[in-house]
Amino acid sequence: MTTSTRASRAKKTPAGDEPEFRIVENNLHVITTTEGEIVLPLKVKTKVFRALSELDDEMKQLFAMLDDLGDAETPQKLDELDIFETQKIVARFFEEFQAKAQASVGESQRSSNS
């Protein structure tokens, strides 16, 4: 008798269960997903950021940003992922975006105090 476990039934990304992330220049690279590598920009124009701030959901914000950048390929890849995989990617994107924003504020404070 074969016992099926949740882990054995789960669809895996090419390198395991979790997406692998790297920051390269101003981009978050999601190296391992079921749709291949996905690259999300961490550099956002002010006019785009202002429009995004009116949305209440991080996933909506990310898709709106990609739409505004004219990126059709990345949303298509994200749409094909399992929702839990997409949620992990969206959460990591906003963690990295927040870290970058805090670093920028810290740099501005140091330079203005000099």
**Residue among 17, 14, 66 nearest 35 (CA):** 14
Give the pLDDT confidence score for residue 9 in this predicted structure. Answer: 34
Asked if residue 75 has pLDDT above 90, the reply is yes
Greater pLDDT, 82 or 6? 82
Domain boundaries, the chain: 13-113
Amino acid at 113: N
Predicted TM-score of the model (pTM) = 0.72
Q: pLDDT > 70: what percent of the chain?
A: 75
3-class secondary-structure state, position 90? helix
Greater pLDDT, 78 or 10? 78
